[in-house]
Amino acid sequence: MQIDIFTLFPQMFESPLSSGLLQRAIDRKLVSVNLHNIRDYTHNKHRTVDDYPYGGGAGMMLKPEPVFEAVEALQSDLSHKQEVVEVPIVLLTPQGRLFSQHIALKLSKYSHLVLICGHYEGIDERVREHLVTDEISIGDYVLSGGELAAMIVADAVVRLLPGVLGSEASPLDESHTTGLLEYPQYTRPQVYRDWAVPEVLLSGNHTQIAQWRREQSILRTLKRRPELLDKANLCTKEKQLVVRLKQSQ
Ligand code: ADE
């Protein structure tokens, strides 16, 4: 996968891209991440990228020209180089659709992603109308810019690419992939400060362990994120379990 990130603050990406999972994926050539400074596509002496909103109001807006020119420079480069592939052009903005594991999985299927980090009080609407193909928000709060959101999207997508996680670390069981929160996990020591690991996990009985984990997932989801249960894929027995658990709450 290739990810191109358009930002006014490329230096913000240095640490996330040079440590942990993203760095490992880059080193192993499973993904390449290119940073583009939107300011490099200005033509005026002061390299201005912002301006006042028409109609008045507080704050400054990100101007359309440098954003269009930056992304179009990449598009023109691509059209010379390779066969045409569909490339989502994603604007990170609090007005976007709410990011989820489902969206991360969908994005991980593309071979190329473009992420545009908004800034200031907003971005000229024509960027939304005529350049971007998708808008994503990472949550119902306002960040100072789209950079942190872009890092979150990149991280969640890259760890789903084939080969990025070790063979034994499967994303299939984890929170949100199943539609449920993940069950409690333990590692050694078996007893720590009088707190023992649940007996069933030491039993070696894989059917019982799987059943216990499934029940714990349902229980935890019911307690913490009950709204997720409506969409989770539960069998009849599990639905009955939910009804019983709700009654005993
Ligand atoms: N930019 C500012 N706030 C944001 C958010 N919540 N999600 C994505 N991009 C943002």
Q: What is the pLDDT of residues 115-132, one digit of tens each?
A: 999 987 899 999 999 999
**Ligand 1 centroid vs 145 CA: distance in angstroms?**
6
Q: In this structure, which residue's CA is closest to atom 5 in ligand 1? A: 94
Q: CB neighbours (10 Å) of residue 165? A: 16
% of the chain at pLDDT higher than 70: 98
For residue 92, the ligand 1 atom closest to its alpha carbon is: 9
Q: Which of 12, 138, 153 most suits a substitution to test ligand 1, by most atoms within 8 Å of the C-beta? A: 138
**Whole-number Å distance between alpha carbons of 221 and 18:** 34
- pLDDT, tens digit (0-9, with 9 covering 90-100), for 138-169: 999 999 999 999 999 999 999 999 999 976 56
Q: Is 118 in the pocket of ligand 1 (CB under 6 A)?
A: yes
* CB 218 less than 6 A from any atom of ligand 1: no
Average of per-residue pLDDT values in the chain: 95
Buried b (16+ CB within 10 A) or exposed e, 7-35: bbbbebbeebbeeeebeebbeeeebebeb
> How do residues 23-80 score in pLDDT, each as one tens digit?
999 999 999 999 999 999 999 999 999 999 999 999 999 999 999 999 999 999 998 8
